[in-house]
A and B are shown apart, each in its own frame.
Chain A
Amino acid sequence: MAKKEESTAVETTKIDAKIPAGPLAEKWSNYKAHQKLVNPANKRRLDVIVVGTGLAGASAAASMAEMGFNVLNFCIQDSPRRAHSIAAQGGINAAKNYQNDGDSVYRLFYDTIKGGDYRAREANVYRLAEVSNGIIDQCVAQGVPFAREYGGLLDNRSFGGAQVSRTFYAKGQTGQQLLLGAYSALSRQIGKGTVKLYSRYEMLDVVVIDGRARGIIARNLVTGKVERFFAHAVVVGTGGYGNAFFLSTNAMTSNASAAVQMYKKGAYFANPAYAQIHPTCIPVHGEFQSKLTLMSESLRNDGRIWTPKSKEDAEAIRAGKKKATDLKEDERDYYLERRYPAFGNLVPRDVASRAAKERCDAGYGVGNTGLAVYLDFSAAINRLGEDVVRARYGNLFQMYEKIVDDNPYNTPMMIYPAIHYTMGGIWVDYELQTSVKGLFCIGEANFSDHGANRLGASALMQGLADGYFVLPYTIQNYLADQIQVPRMSTDLPEFADAEKSVSDKIKKLMSIQGKKSVDTIHRELGLIMWDFVGMGRNKAGLEHALEKIKEVRKEFWSNVFIPGAADNMNAELEKALRVADFIEIGELMARDALQREESCGGHFREEYQTPEGEALRNDEEFSFASCWKFNGEGEEPTLLKEALDYEFIHRQQRNYKA
């Protein structure tokens, strides 16, 4: 351990990730063998709140209810089936090695660590790879209709950042099918009365009593009533914070408010700067736009990405004088295949996104804005026939055509990167517990497994790993010590105080009666985030962003206008509460990006790159997870550092070229 202290000046004293001792491959087995459990009679007496019904939330709520815990489950939509996990298209990774192409738990672990640019915890990622196979079995048992081969066995496809085919899929709707599987398991428990569902509720605060999470404050979105809920432990799986950018591939209600409230109650916020820009989204096309649509990464299996080789052709295309199909093969620059011969079009997302930006910034972009590149299926259609391409991607092609009014079977798709997923999130230890006792965080909302960049088809894997196989175990290690704690009254002062602070905040917002709509201010924040905290970041830009975000905050709290009343359904008020928190997250992202003076994964600091324009990590100084501790409104947060010890993997510059 002395060696670590010599090489980096990292503050390690305060952060304990509680990683079990022993060899990497035995840690999780050892943990489970020695952890505390709760007996069936006691489980019935313990209440657990689960906020969110996405892959992580629904699978956790269902699994814990099956075990016998009394679960309260909250979702913001009208039904748990609508959580945004449903929109995941491409697939879910597992180390089954059904294809006999050399896959293994170790290789999935290694690819995920490398894909995350060596900024994730080894022990967590190994456990993720270890439980991945069980997820596929579980989903099959639930009746998830995964794609099959003619022999009746499960089919696989390839995804970015891997040289094996380990991605299981259900057409282009894998997230939908996995979520409906988890939803069916959850519905079964709701029917049995072991889960009480609260739909159209939004969590607005966490209640902490004597240092332990003991409940939440949530607003009934139909009646506007602010309500109190007690539980022995609180689990939050409310997704990521990509909507801080206003335009993202997230759903309209995807928000960071639960995370921000946890942060303000003492949970560290880790690595907020790590946001994933997805390379294959439909380009922005107008001011009225409300969201961006992703085209699955699976398209890169058969689609080839290119821009014109000459600037003249690019200009002609932008001016509408030439079409993509006018360009001959030798007039096209398949820049990913050129730059990364070993992985080609299947480089990880961060690499593909930056390469697209590089081409467009250099003047080779297409579309009327010049901010687009081609994703071309003509070679695949010639090789496989249109029917095969339709069978694989039909629903995605249809979606593209409906939005863009262009047929991708005949002309190449146009794509451009967009904010998609956030690797950062609430800090959790090996048990998925935050720095507040009894408060757990799962799925995209936590920071744990993807380091600085997530590989495709790994979000579904992590959400379900957390919910089915990790949290239902680890939470018992905490709850075993809570069996003597009786159910508490929500009349306790801690509940009353938390409710009052929420009600005061709502009153404040309603009383501003300014001149700007919530969306107008949100859009202003989004533009700052995209321009200065987006794909390419630098010191001056980030400092500028921090100033601008302060102005947005001031504008918001003095000039926002919310019509209607608070004690009723009020969509504008809901949005305002979320935007207030996006402003906090935006600032934290910029702050984190500023302190991290290196490039890694989705975090690209223009000052730190190799001569070839690749991300340049600085393991000497930045081999840590940055954990931000809230110090009060208007105060600067403190940066704590969890050192990332690489015991089993030798770190190197990521290389997708050879």
Chain B
Amino acid sequence: MDKTINLTLKVWRQAGPKAKGKFETYKIDNVSTDSSFLEMMDVLNEQLVAERKEPVAFDHDCREGICGMCSMYINGHPHGPDGEITTCQLHMRNFNDGQTITIEPWRSAAFPIIKDLMVDRGAYDKIIQAGGYVNVNTGGVPDGNAIPIGKDIADEAMDAASCIGCGACAAACKNGSAMLFVAAKVSQLALLPQGKVEGAHRAKAMVAKMDELGFGNCTNTGACEAECPKNVSISHIARLNREFLVAKFQD
């Protein structure tokens, strides 16, 4: 209880998208091991503000691991060394007294840096806009129980749907591929009867958009699955590939 540690932070600082970035080193003392990683960053920023310097810009919002906004590359891992969590859920008890921590933004061609640790993940939104939905308007839909869906199917769709769109998969991938993100959405909707109808078309549209936006190819390294804070399985990539093949046959 109330254990504290002293740390050295190497933080990527970059004034803007076109500015040249570099690592700055900061010492931070008496960090409570009960605090979260972002609370540690808050303390660093308070320290910088007290020194009348500009604080480190980083994305964050819900701080409970669900909004997908936080996006730090910590000691070589998206969302840090602990598994199945986002940066905001990472706690300082995972680090040792005297440790040096390297903090970088997502590094991916499709996610340009805005400032410091903050990147533009608008490409993920554009992929969804290209087809990550069921073509249905508000109103005039059947009763929710009109089409029974097996529990195992619903559960698997839910696992795919748990993606938070944080971008860790593309950041972790040596090719900068967004396949796990795309596959999670394609798979969720292809599993359910409501989305199955347009499954092949959706897969094609989303993959085409992904390629257009500068994401790399998938070479099945599995790094995305290993780093995904929500444990989204690469088995969804297999389902995406099936849907994509169906679309190709239909052409």
- Seen from chain A, the residues whose Cβ lies within 8 Å of a Cβ on chain B are 59, 62-63, 66, 77-82, 84, 86-87, 96, 98, 134, 136-154, 170-171, 173, 175-177, 180, 183-185, 187-188, 190-191, 197, 199, 222, 251-253, 285-286, 288-291, 293-294, 368, 398-399, 402-403, 405, 468-469, 472, 517, 519-520, 561, 563-564, 569, 571-572
CA distance A147 to B152 in the complex (A): 10
Chain B positions 5 through 40: 1 when the CB is less than 8 Å from some CB of chain A, otherwise 0: 000000000000000000000000000101110111
The residues in B between 37 and 59 inclusive whose CB is less than 8 angstroms from any CB of A are 38-40, 42-43, 46, 48-50, 52-55, 57, 59
- In the assembled complex, the CB of B24 is this many whole angstroms from the nearest CB of chain A, namely 15
Closest to B86 in A: A402
- In the assembled complex, the CB of B180 is this many whole angstroms from the nearest CB of chain A, namely 16
Q: Given the complex, which residues of A lie within 8 Å of B132, measured CB to CB? A: 184, 187
Q: Given the complex, which residues of A lie within 8 Å of B1, measured CB to CB? A: 368
Indicate the member of B61, B134, B144, B151 with the most A CB atoms within 10 Å.
B144
- Would B89 and A399 count as touching, CB distance under 8 A? yes
Q: Which of B153-161, B216-224, B239-247 forms contacts with chain A?
A: B153-161
Q: Given the complex, which residues of B lie within 8 Å of A177, measured CB to CB? A: 158, 161
Known: A469-B138, A572-B55. A77 touches B69 (CB 8 A): yes
Q: Given the complex, which residues of A lie within 8 Å of B63, measured CB to CB? A: 251-252, 290-291, 293
Q: Given the complex, which residues of B lie within 8 Å of A286, measured CB to CB? A: 2, 32, 34-35
Q: Given the complex, which residues of A lie within 8 Å of B174, measured CB to CB? A: none
- In the assembled complex, the CB of A518 is this many whole angstroms from the nearest CB of chain B, namely 8
- Would A78 and B59 count as touching, CB distance under 8 A? yes
Q: Given the complex, which residues of B lie within 8 Å of A405, measured CB to CB? A: 34, 91, 93
When the two chains form the complex, which single residue of B39, B130, B165 contacts A289, counting CB atoms closer than 8 Å?
B39
- Would B142 and A137 count as touching, CB distance under 8 A? yes
Closest to B125 in A: A79
Known: A143-B194, A145-B154, A145-B192. A87 touches B64 (CB 8 A): yes
Chain B positions 114 through 139: 1 when the CB is less than 8 Å from some CB of chain A, otherwise 0: 11001011101100111111111111
A-B contact pairs, 15 of them (CB 8 A): A77-B69, A79-B121, A86-B62, A143-B134, A147-B154, A147-B158, A154-B144, A173-B162, A176-B66, A183-B128, A184-B133, A187-B125, A289-B35, A290-B39, A405-B91
A-B pairs with lowest CB-CB distance, top 10: A152-B148, A184-B133, A191-B129, A141-B141, A145-B157, A145-B158, A148-B154, A140-B144, A63-B138, A82-B67
Closest to B48 in A: A563
Q: Given the complex, which residues of A lie within 8 Å of B115, measured CB to CB? A: 569
- Would A188 and B135 count as touching, CB distance under 8 A? yes
- Would B138 and A143 count as touching, CB distance under 8 A? no
The residues in B between 90 and 119 inclusive whose CB is less than 8 angstroms from any CB of A are 91, 93, 114-115, 118
- Would A81 and B57 count as touching, CB distance under 8 A? no
B208 close to A (CB within 8 Å): no
Closest to A170 in B: B158
CA distance A19 to B59 in the complex (A): 43
B176 close to A (CB within 8 Å): no
Known: A187-B128, A517-B46. A145 touches B57 (CB 8 A): no
- In the assembled complex, the CB of B174 is this many whole angstroms from the nearest CB of chain A, namely 24
CA distance A399 to B88 in the complex (A): 11
Q: Given the complex, which residues of B lie within 8 Å of A154, measured CB to CB? A: 144-145
Q: Given the complex, which residues of B lie within 8 Å of A572, measured CB to CB? A: 49, 55
- Would A86 and B142 count as touching, CB distance under 8 A? no
Q: Given the complex, which residues of B lie within 8 Å of A81, measured CB to CB? A: 68, 125, 128, 165
CA distance A136 to B194 in the complex (A): 14
- Would B134 and A78 count as touching, CB distance under 8 A? no
B195 close to A (CB within 8 Å): yes
CA distance A187 to B125 in the complex (A): 8
- In the assembled complex, the CB of A407 is this many whole angstroms from the nearest CB of chain B, namely 14
Closest to A404 in B: B34
- In the assembled complex, the CB of B159 is this many whole angstroms from the nearest CB of chain A, namely 9
CA distance A405 to B93 in the complex (A): 9
- Would A288 and B134 count as touching, CB distance under 8 A? no
Q: Given the complex, which residues of A lie within 8 Å of B57, measured CB to CB? A: 569, 571
- Would A77 and B133 count as touching, CB distance under 8 A? no
B201 close to A (CB within 8 Å): no
- Would A185 and B32 count as touching, CB distance under 8 A? no
- Would A252 and B60 count as touching, CB distance under 8 A? yes
- Would A134 and B67 count as touching, CB distance under 8 A? no
- In the assembled complex, the CB of A71 is this many whole angstroms from the nearest CB of chain B, namely 13
CA distance A63 to B136 in the complex (A): 10
Closest to A59 in B: B138
- In the assembled complex, the CB of A315 is this many whole angstroms from the nearest CB of chain B, namely 17
B85 close to A (CB within 8 Å): yes
When the two chains form the complex, which single residue of B49, B64, B139, B161 contacts A399, counting CB atoms closer than 8 Å?
B64
Q: Given the complex, which residues of B lie within 8 Å of A137, measured CB to CB? A: 141-144
- In the assembled complex, the CB of A310 is this many whole angstroms from the nearest CB of chain B, namely 24
CA distance A77 to B52 in the complex (A): 26
When the two chains form the complex, which single residue of A142, A288, A402, A569 contacts B32, counting CB atoms closer than 8 Å?
A288
Q: Given the complex, which residues of A lie within 8 Å of B82, measured CB to CB? A: 402
Known: A191-B130, A288-B35. A140 touches B194 (CB 8 A): yes
- Would A86 and B34 count as touching, CB distance under 8 A? no
When the two chains form the complex, which single residue of B35, B114, B139, B192 contacts A569, counting CB atoms closer than 8 Å?
B114
Closest to A84 in B: B62
New contact pairs (11) apart from A222-B114, A252-B63, CB-CB < 8 Å: A78-B120, A87-B66, A136-B144, A184-B128, A187-B129, A286-B2, A291-B63, A405-B34, A469-B139, A563-B48, A563-B49
Q: Given the complex, which residues of A lie within 8 Å of B141, measured CB to CB? A: 137-138, 140-141
Known: A148-B151, A191-B129. A141 touches B60 (CB 8 A): no
- Would B161 and A142 count as touching, CB distance under 8 A? no
Known: A143-B189, A561-B49, A571-B57. A288 touches B125 (CB 8 A): no
B177 close to A (CB within 8 Å): no
- Would B122 and A78 count as touching, CB distance under 8 A? yes
- Would A561 and B52 count as touching, CB distance under 8 A? yes
- In the assembled complex, the CB of B58 is this many whole angstroms from the nearest CB of chain A, namely 9
- In the assembled complex, the CB of B142 is this many whole angstroms from the nearest CB of chain A, namely 7
Q: Given the complex, which residues of B lie within 8 Å of A190, measured CB to CB? A: 125, 129
Q: Given the complex, which residues of A lie within 8 Å of B138, measured CB to CB? A: 59, 62-63, 66, 138, 185, 468-469, 472
- In the assembled complex, the CB of A165 is this many whole angstroms from the nearest CB of chain B, namely 15
Known: A140-B141, A517-B46. A171 touches B125 (CB 8 A): no
Closest to A221 in B: B114
- In the assembled complex, the CB of A586 is this many whole angstroms from the nearest CB of chain B, namely 22
CA distance A134 to B141 in the complex (A): 8
Indicate the member of A78, A138, A293, A520 with the most B CB atoms within 10 Å.
A78
- Would A79 and B144 count as touching, CB distance under 8 A? no
CA distance A190 to B32 in the complex (A): 44
Closest to B59 in A: A78
Closest to B158 in A: A145
CA distance A213 to B180 in the complex (A): 44
CA distance A171 to B40 in the complex (A): 31
CA distance A63 to B128 in the complex (A): 18
Known: A141-B136, A145-B161. A82 touches B61 (CB 8 A): yes
CA distance A459 to B249 in the complex (A): 45
CA distance A177 to B36 in the complex (A): 26
Q: Given the complex, which residues of B lie within 8 Å of A571, measured CB to CB? A: 55, 57
CA distance A571 to B91 in the complex (A): 23
- In the assembled complex, the CB of A405 is this many whole angstroms from the nearest CB of chain B, namely 6
When the two chains form the complex, which single residue of B85, B149, B194 contacts A142, counting CB atoms closer than 8 Å?
B194
- Would B133 and A563 count as touching, CB distance under 8 A? no
CA distance A84 to B67 in the complex (A): 7
Indicate the member of B2, B161, B164 with the most A CB atoms within 10 Å.
B161
CA distance A154 to B148 in the complex (A): 8
Known: A288-B35, A290-B42, A563-B55. A82 touches B69 (CB 8 A): yes
Indicate the member of B66, B158, B195 with the most A CB atoms within 10 Å.
B66
Known: A79-B121, A293-B64, A569-B57. A66 touches B49 (CB 8 A): no
Known: A177-B161, A399-B89. A288 touches B39 (CB 8 A): yes
Q: Given the complex, which residues of A lie within 8 Å of B68, measured CB to CB? A: 79, 81-82
Q: Given the complex, which residues of A lie within 8 Å of B50, measured CB to CB? A: 517
